[in-house]
Structure 1
Amino acid sequence: MRTMVAAMLCMLFAAGVRAAVIGAEVSYRAGDTVMKGYLAYDDAIQGKRPGVLVVHEWWGHNEYARKRARMLAELGYTALAVDMYGDGKTAEHPEDAGKFATAVNSDMAQRRARFLAAKALLERHPTVAADAIAAIGYCFGGGVVLNMAREGVDLRAVASFHGAIASRKLAEPGTVKARVLVLNGAADPMVTERQIEVFHQEMTAAGVDYRFVNYAGARHAFTNPDADGYGQRFGLPLAYHPEADARSWAELKTFLRDTFGR
C-alpha cells in the first residue's frame, strides 16, 4: 500500500513539474542584424497551438515584454517576445528610446523585415500552428502591430495596448487580414481625440473587424507597473492604472479566445 501511494505521489509530482511554462532566449536574423527574443510555452499542452508575437515598448525588449510572453504561455499560447531594435538592446533614458523607436519607424521596409523574421521563427516552432498567429504590442509595439495589420501581414488578430494609432499609411479596403483590438487610455495625452476620430473612420472605410476600448482615467503605459517610476524620473505623462491593466488583459483573453476558439 505504501509503495502504491508513493508511486502515485511521484506521478503527481512529475505531472506538476511537466506543467511548468518554459521560457528561453532565442536568436534569429533579420538581414545582417542579429535579433534577440524570448520564447515561452507550456510543455504540458499536447499538440500545436496558436502563436502570439509580443512587441515591446520603446524601452526595448526588456523583462516586461518577457513577462507578458509568459502570461500568454500560461493561457495556452506559444508567445515570442520580439526584438525590434536588434541585438536585444534596451534604453534607460527617453532620449535613447526615442532614437531607437524613430530609427525603426522611419524605415518601413526594415520594420516589416524585422517583424516578419520574428513571425517566421514563431511559425517554425514545433508547438505552433503556423496558420494561427496573432500579435500584441505595447506603446511603440502597439503602433508596430497596427501598422503590420495595415500593411496586410498575414495575422489572425492584433491588439494594441496604449499604442500609437496614427499612421502615415492608412489601411486600404481589403488589405487588413487581422481582427483588430485597440486598448487605449482615455487620459493619454499622446493619443488625441482627432487621432481617435480618424482611426475610427479609417477602420470603417477599410472594412476592418475592429474594437476600440477607452479606459477612463488611464494614462500612457497604463499596463506597466514601472510606468510611475519612469514618469516621475523623466517628467513623462506615464502612470500605472491597475484597473485598466486588469480589464485590458481580460479583454485580450476574450479577443484571442473568440479568434482562435480556445
Structure 2
Amino acid sequence: MRFACSLLLSLLSCVPALADIQTKWVDYTDGEVALQGFVAWDDNQASQPAPGILVVHQWMGLTDYEQTRCQQLAKLGYVAFALDIYGKGVRPADPQEAAQFSGKYKSDRALYRRRLNLGLEQLQAQAGVAPAKIAAIGYCFGGTGVLELARSGADIQGVVSFHGGLDSPDPQAGKNVKAKVLMCHGADDPFVPAEGVEALRAEFNAADVDWQLIEYSGTVHSFTQPMAGNDNSKGAAYNKSSDQRSWRAMRSFFSELFE
C-alpha cells in the first residue's frame, strides 16, 4: 500500500500544473472618452515575462468572442489584451449599426490608429509582458485594424489579420511598417475586392515589408466566427477547417517572431 501511494505521488509530481487562466477588465481613456479592455494570462507562468498579444475586435465591438480568444492565447503562454475601439459599454445593436460604428474609424484613420496605439500601451503596461515581444491579431474590422497599427509605425514584432479589409487607402503608409505581417484571407470573400489586395501588395512591396498572405479555398468572410453561420451565399460564414488552419498559421508565425 505504501509503495502504491509513493508511486501515485511520484506520478502526480511529474504532471505539469494545470493552467490557471486569470482575467480582468482594464479601464483607460482617450481624452474624455472612457474605454475598457480585457486581459487574460496564465498565472502559472507569471514568474517570467511572456510575449504580449493585442487583440482587436470585429465590428460588433469587444464581445465574448474576443474574451475567449484572449483566454485561448493565455493558455498558449501569452498575455493577451483585447482593446476597445468604440468606448466603454458602447456596442452596436445590429449589423447596420455596426457598419456605422466601424465606418467612422475606417474613414478617420488617424482616430483609428490612436485608439489602436492606446490599446497597445495598455498591453505593454500589463505585468509580466516582455516588452520586446509584442504582436497583434484582429478579426474583420480588427483585421483591418492590425494593418493600420502596423502602418502607424508601431514598434512591434508582428501582426496577424484574420479576414480583414485588404486594401491600400494610403500607398505611402507602408513605409512606416516595422512589423512582419501575416494575412489570413478567405479566397471567396466577396467583401475584399481583388484590386484592393493588389494595391496592398504593391504598397507593401514598395516598402519592403515582410508579409505573407494565405488564402483558404471555399472560404468567405468571417470564417473564424461561429456566430456567422454556415451559409457561404451570404458572403460571411464560419469555416471550421479554415479557422483551425489560420490559428495554426498564427502559432507558427508567433514561434518565428518570439524564438
C-alpha contact 1:37 1:88 (8 A) present in aligned 2: no
**Deviation digits for residues 130-176 of structure 1, max 9, x if unmatched?**
22211110000000110111121112101100000113212446421
Structure 2 counterpart of 1:196, which letter?
V
Q: Following TM superposition, by how much is the alpha carbon of 1:236 offset from its aligned partner in structure 2, in angstroms? A: 4.3
Moved over 6 A (4+): none
Kindly indicate whether residue 101 of structure 2 is the aligned counterpart of residue 100 of structure 1: yes
**Deviation digits for residues 42-74 of structure 1, max 9, x if unmatched?**
111131011010001101110111111111111
Structure 1 counterpart of 2:161, which letter?
S
Kindly indicate whether residue 84 of structure 2 is the aligned counterpart of residue 83 of structure 1: yes
Distance change >3 Å, CA 125–CA 101, structure 1 → 2: same
Distance change >3 Å, CA 121–CA 44, structure 1 → 2: same
Partner of 2:43: 43
Kindly indicate whether residue 240 of structure 2 is the aligned counterpart of residue 258 of structure 1: no
Equivalent in 235, 247, 255 of residue 249 of structure 1: 247
C-alpha contact 1:138 1:162 (8 A) present in aligned 2: yes
Partner of 1:225: 226
Q: Following TM superposition, by how much is the alpha carbon of 1:110 offset from its aligned partner in structure 2, in angstroms? A: 2.2
C-alpha contact 1:151 1:171 (8 A) present in aligned 2: no
What's the Cα RMSD here?
Answer: 2.5
Q: Following TM superposition, by how much is the alpha carbon of 1:196 offset from its aligned partner in structure 2, in angstroms? A: 1.7
C-alpha contact 2:168 2:196 (8 A) present in aligned 1: no
Gap runs ≥5 in structure 2: none
Q: Matched residues in 2 for 1:246 and 1:99: separation?
A: 30
**Deviation digits for residues 222-241 of structure 1, max 9, x if unmatched?**
00011117x79xx9421100
Q: Matched residues in 2 for 1:129 and 1:50: separation?
A: 5
Q: Matched residues in 1 for 2:67 and 2:250: separation?
A: 17
Q: How does 1:70-219 map to 2 (within 5 A)?
A: 70-172=71-173, 174-219=175-220
Q: For 1:44, what is the secondary structure of its paired residue?
A: helix
**TM-score scaled to structure 2, two decimals?**
0.90
Q: Matched residues in 1 for 2:82 and 2:194: separation?
A: 31
Q: Matched residues in 1 for 2:220 and 2:248: separation?
A: 18
Structure 2 counterpart of 1:78, which letter?
V
Gap runs ≥5 in structure 1: none
**TM-score scaled to structure 1, two decimals?**
0.89
Q: Matched residues in 2 for 1:101 and 1:162: separation?
A: 15
Q: Matched residues in 2 for 1:216 and 1:8: separation?
A: 50
Distance change >3 Å, CA 119–CA 183, structure 1 → 2: same
Q: Following TM superposition, by how much is the alpha carbon of 1:8 offset from its aligned partner in structure 2, in angstroms? A: 4.8
C-alpha contact 1:156 1:178 (8 A) present in aligned 2: yes
How many residue pairs match? The answer is: 255
Q: Matched residues in 2 for 1:118 and 1:8: separation?
A: 45
Q: For 2:229, what is the secondary structure of its paired residue?
A: helix
Q: Following TM superposition, by how much is the alpha carbon of 1:106 offset from its aligned partner in structure 2, in angstroms? A: 2.5
Structure 1 counterpart of 2:243, which letter?
D
Identity %: 37
Q: Matched residues in 2 for 1:95 and 1:60: separation?
A: 13
